[in-house]
Chain A
Amino acid sequence: MARLDHLESLEAQSVYILREAYRNLGRLGMLWSIGKDSTVLLWLAKKAFFGHCPFPFIHVDTSYKIPEMIEYRDRVAKELGLELIVHRNEEALSDGMGPDRGRLACCKALKTDALASMTKKYGFDGLIVGVRRDEEGSRSKERVFSERDNDDLWDHTHQPPELWGQFKTEFPKGHHIRVHPLLEWTELDVWRYIGREGIPIIDLYFAKGHERYRSLGCAPCTAKIKSDAATVDEIIAELALTKTSERAGRAQDQEDAYAMQKLRQDGYM
């Protein structure tokens, strides 16, 4: 029999990780950012659990998201019968928090802090997140099962080894594990997989009027790129030629050289 090809191997490994998380972590949830990566994750979960989704999907809603994302979220959740948890940092929002208060402050309050309070509120032991190693520097150091302490902090210098697919499943109460099934995938892998599987993703990624989104986030902080790629195949062709990085349109990454690392140490996804 032929060997598995690259995408088949990635899929098999991600399915394995999802099943390890479901088996070993008590209360489990999946963060769903509506973007292409977490939509691929959702697809993989359906495969892992034979059409079922045995945990809730969580959307940390900053209230500044691109409106089409919210509409897409609610439609897909309904179609697939997902248990959806939408969580906002209401306190910060009623206090007027927004990008004009500083991008990093805004990200911290509406994403990092919101995520932390959501984790506590629902008592999650495990959160599945669709980050990839190739996205930006600090994510390249991640583990597949990455422990967060009571304050959601990530101690990236003292991470235990992940030997032979034996992931971290022992941890003190109050800590939780961020599970990263897509860690080994690249942006191009994700698109090739979307193309091959025919995964329905939000159409903000496809060019209209010579522009499209390459990465999705909050409306005020996410820029479109110049592009005529209107299909998955055209996006793949475009990516094969590009020399700019995926998150170039995401303002919080560009603030300073270590912005993302700081955000992530504090618990950002």
Chain B
Amino acid sequence: MGTDSSNGIGSGINAAPRETLRIVVTGHVDHGKSTVIGRLLYDTGSIPQGAIDKAMAASKERGLNFEFAFLLDAFEEERKQGITIDTTRLSFSTDKRDYLIIDAPGHVEFLKNMISGASDAECAFLVVDAARGVEEQSKRHAHMLRLLGIPRVGVLVNKMDLVGYSEETFAKIVEELGDYLAALGMGADVFVPLSALSGENILKASDRLPWHKGPTLLGALDGIAKGPSEDGLRLPVQDVYKFDERRIIAGRVESGSLREGDTVLISPGGRTSRVLSLESWLPKDRRTSARAPESVGITLEDEFFNQRGDIVSHQTDPPVVAARLRASVFWMGKEPLRVGRRYKLKVATASTDAVIDAIHSLIDSGTLAPSEGAREVGLNQVAEVGISLRKALALDPFASHKATGRFVLVDGYDVAGGGIVTLAMAQEPARHGFVKGALSARSEVFEEYYLSFGTREVTKSPGDAPALYGVGDRVPLSGDSYEYPYDFDIVVFRDRVAVLIRDGRVQDILRLDDYSFQGLPLVNGSGYKVIADSEESFRELRDAFLSDGPKNEAALAQRHLDFNAYRRIAFSKADYSI
């Protein structure tokens, strides 16, 4: 159906650029969402005659009275089932601005679609049937809206015709829902009594609601203030292009702004550089600054390694480099979310494997009562969980930066859950490894590999040498199962740290980005020889290790690592002591 926004009231033909507000309409099934939306579109003249005729014909075909909801039902099977099964997007305009409505279904099985539809809404309206009052799904939806980071809600108390336009009934719902929303930490901005079916209190105040001093639906919509935009720069790197002589870092400014000449920090690597230029195809698009949510391409003064998932920010307001998270997660997967299971976590443009460490509480969305000790989270449930990331990522708590503070969990091929970061914990200090100031790297370089003669299994043991080494410390160059030269370098890819060993001691610990190939023997964080013979070949394999997912790791190891150079497998001592 055609719903060109210009068909709405008040939009001039060559009007100046107008503001668009994205809203979601949600509520318990049958409370009247579709009717409210149908009515709003119809009354603002936003529906082409063709669509109205089609809906009329469809109602007639089935021997039913005309329903506003039919205007929204584009699909055959929906008409059969009589419920909305997916979100649709429709638009209309008022004198003030354009609106994009996301019609969210109330049927619980289709919650994931609601979440999908609600995902980019700036404000939500909860429709409540005046006769039936607040029901389970009304509460569940309110809770979901909060988790989606849509704290602003308006409540539409619909079907006032069924309760004789009673002020008392309205007041009761205002009180009950108001309390509930307050307990969630959300405020309802506005409560509007109306009848979508009879068209009361939609565009103009209704004679039947003389006691109502608040706005009409139209007034409530136009009264919503667009939220303030976040000001700290977040530019997650989407891709790096080398189509020509330029090396362009492409991405979308998720918040804040940047200008040519700005000094920027690139996380999680931690290097800084200056923005040389903002690139564009057409001369007319040439600019020296950019702001959210523009898609941009920048070049930097220093050409060091950066990749998809890195975040460009200003130095004064950096993201957190985190390996562990606390998060609120809502689950949409067929299989429950389980403690100990591995998922793919995607936040902005970064992704890594993630393991659920713990389910701290499972929240019943009906009563909002938390329960503890759960081992799994089922379909449509909400939980507070702890998550460990395989690779430390740059991200933010949701409260400070939305776009880099929310993530999805992928199970197999599908997005199975969404979450917001409540707490981002910087990397856990290494228990075995190297430390220098804020830099730390986990290491298994001095671990022993033993083969059990009896079971024929190989086991690793940390050995009994001191666990952490700082600059100047002597390291154990030989053990039962390894022998390193006096001078060699260690590169710990997962923590992006390099360690220089000279004359059997730690000479320096530095960021991997600042390390260049020294022509000395080189091992990785497990003590396997890294096969590189020049700066060029080292860079190539470093970039491959840093950018490729775990799937590729075995293949990379096969090509670039040699287990046997400094290591062997020793028979287990435990065996011969028996």
B1 contacts across to A, CB distance below 8 A: 134, 136-137, 140, 245
Over the window 3-35 of chain B, the binary record of Cβ atoms lying under 8 Å from chain A Cβ atoms (1 yes, 0 no) is 111110001011001111000000000000000
Contact present for B406 and A134 (CB under 8 Å)? no
Q: Which residue of A lies closest to B246 (CB)?
A: A50
B113 within 8 A of A: yes
Q: Which residue of B lies closest to A10 (CB)?
A: B20
Contact present for B13 and A166 (CB under 8 Å)? no
Contact present for B295 and A19 (CB under 8 Å)? yes
A258 within 8 A of B: yes
CA distance A28 to B456 in the complex (A): 48
A236 contacts across to B, CB distance below 8 A: 13-14
B89 contacts across to A, CB distance below 8 A: 133, 140, 184
CA distance A239 to B412 in the complex (A): 45
Contact present for A257 and B85 (CB under 8 Å)? no
Distance to closest chain B CB from A265 (angstroms): 10
B413 contacts across to A, CB distance below 8 A: 168, 170-172
A6 contacts across to B, CB distance below 8 A: 17-20, 98
Contact present for A245 and B257 (CB under 8 Å)? no
Contact present for A170 and B412 (CB under 8 Å)? yes
Q: Which of B88, B238, B414 contacts A170 (CB 8 A)?
A: B414
Among listed B175-183, B276-284, B429-437, interface-contacting one: B276-284
Distance to closest chain A CB from B208 (angstroms): 31
Answer whether A162 and B116 are a contact pair too, CB < 8 Å, given A3-B19, A9-B20, A243-B50: yes
Within 8 A of A (CB), among B218-248: 229, 238-239, 241, 243-244, 246, 248
B564 within 8 A of A: no
Contact present for B54 and A16 (CB under 8 Å)? no
Interface size on B, residues (CB 8 A): 73
A20 within 8 A of B: yes
CA distance A233 to B511 in the complex (A): 57
Contact present for B239 and A16 (CB under 8 Å)? no
Contact present for A4 and B294 (CB under 8 Å)? yes
Q: Which of B239, B280, B291 contacts A23 (CB 8 A)?
A: B239
B155 within 8 A of A: no
B519 within 8 A of A: no
Distance to closest chain A CB from B253 (angstroms): 9
CA distance A258 to B74 in the complex (A): 9
Distance to closest chain B CB from A263 (angstroms): 13
Contact present for A240 and B281 (CB under 8 Å)? no
B76 within 8 A of A: yes
B51 within 8 A of A: yes
Main secondary structure of the interface of B (DSSP, over half): mixed
Among listed A62-70, A98-106, A153-161, A221-229, interface-contacting one: A153-161
A87 within 8 A of B: no
B410 within 8 A of A: yes
Q: Which residue of A lies closest to B413 (CB)?
A: A170
A250 within 8 A of B: no
Distance to closest chain A CB from B50 (angstroms): 4
A133 contacts across to B, CB distance below 8 A: 89
Contact present for A20 and B51 (CB under 8 Å)? no
Contact present for B85 and A157 (CB under 8 Å)? yes
B49 within 8 A of A: yes
CA distance A216 to B294 in the complex (A): 31
Distance to closest chain B CB from A252 (angstroms): 16
A213 within 8 A of B: no
Distance to closest chain A CB from B416 (angstroms): 8
Distance to closest chain B CB from A172 (angstroms): 7
B408 contacts across to A, CB distance below 8 A: 163-164, 166
Contact present for B115 and A161 (CB under 8 Å)? yes
Q: Which of A22, A46, A166 contacts B415 (CB 8 A)?
A: A166
CA distance A54 to B20 in the complex (A): 32
B2 within 8 A of A: yes
Q: Which of B17, B294, B332 contacts A7 (CB 8 A)?
A: B17
Contact present for B406 and A164 (CB under 8 Å)? yes
Within 8 A of B (CB), among A231-269: 233, 236-237, 239-240, 242-246, 248, 257-258, 261
Contact present for A5 and B17 (CB under 8 Å)? yes
B195 within 8 A of A: no
Within 8 A of A (CB), among B247-269: 248, 250, 252, 257
Contact present for B49 and A243 (CB under 8 Å)? yes
Contact present for A163 and B119 (CB under 8 Å)? yes
B50 contacts across to A, CB distance below 8 A: 243-245, 248
CA distance A161 to B282 in the complex (A): 35
Contact present for B2 and A187 (CB under 8 Å)? yes
Contact present for B54 and A257 (CB under 8 Å)? yes
B112 within 8 A of A: yes
Over the window 68-82 of chain B, the binary record of Cβ atoms lying under 8 Å from chain A Cβ atoms (1 yes, 0 no) is 000000111100000
Contact present for A156 and B20 (CB under 8 Å)? no
Contact present for A157 and B119 (CB under 8 Å)? no
B285 within 8 A of A: yes
A48 within 8 A of B: yes
Contact present for A51 and B418 (CB under 8 Å)? no
A186 within 8 A of B: yes
Answer whether A12 and B252 are a contact pair too, CB < 8 Å, given A141-B74, A245-B51: yes
A160 contacts across to B, CB distance below 8 A: 112, 414-415
Q: Which of B6, B85, B248, B291 contacts A240 (CB 8 A)?
A: B6
Q: Which of B19, B57, B250, B289 contacts A1 (CB 8 A)?
A: B289
A13 within 8 A of B: yes
B346 within 8 A of A: yes
A54 contacts across to B, CB distance below 8 A: 243
Contact present for B248 and A168 (CB under 8 Å)? no
CA distance A248 to B49 in the complex (A): 12
B77 contacts across to A, CB distance below 8 A: 157
Q: Which residue of B lies closest to A167 (CB)?
A: B415
CA distance A160 to B291 in the complex (A): 31
Distance to closest chain A CB from B345 (angstroms): 10
Contact present for A138 and B75 (CB under 8 Å)? yes
Distance to closest chain B CB from A138 (angstroms): 6
Within 8 A of B (CB), among A40-83: 46-52, 54
Q: Which residue of A lies closest to B57 (CB)?
A: A257
B310 within 8 A of A: no
A188 within 8 A of B: yes
A30 within 8 A of B: no
A188 contacts across to B, CB distance below 8 A: 4-6
Within 8 A of A (CB), among B268-313: 279-282, 285, 289, 291, 293-295, 297, 308
Contact present for B250 and A19 (CB under 8 Å)? yes
B48 contacts across to A, CB distance below 8 A: 242-245
CA distance A184 to B414 in the complex (A): 23
Answer whether A186 and B116 are a contact pair too, CB < 8 Å, given A50-B281, A236-B14: no
A128 within 8 A of B: no
Distance to closest chain B CB from A228 (angstroms): 15
B410 contacts across to A, CB distance below 8 A: 170
Q: Which residue of B lies closest to A242 (CB)?
A: B48
A109 within 8 A of B: no
Given A6-B17, A6-B20, A12-B252, 10 more contacts at CB 8 Å? A9-B293, A19-B295, A20-B238, A47-B285, A50-B248, A159-B113, A160-B415, A165-B120, A170-B414, A186-B3
A and B contact pairs by CB, cutoff 8 A, 14 listed: A1-B289, A12-B252, A23-B238, A48-B250, A134-B4, A160-B414, A161-B112, A164-B119, A186-B4, A237-B13, A240-B6, A245-B48, A246-B2, A257-B76
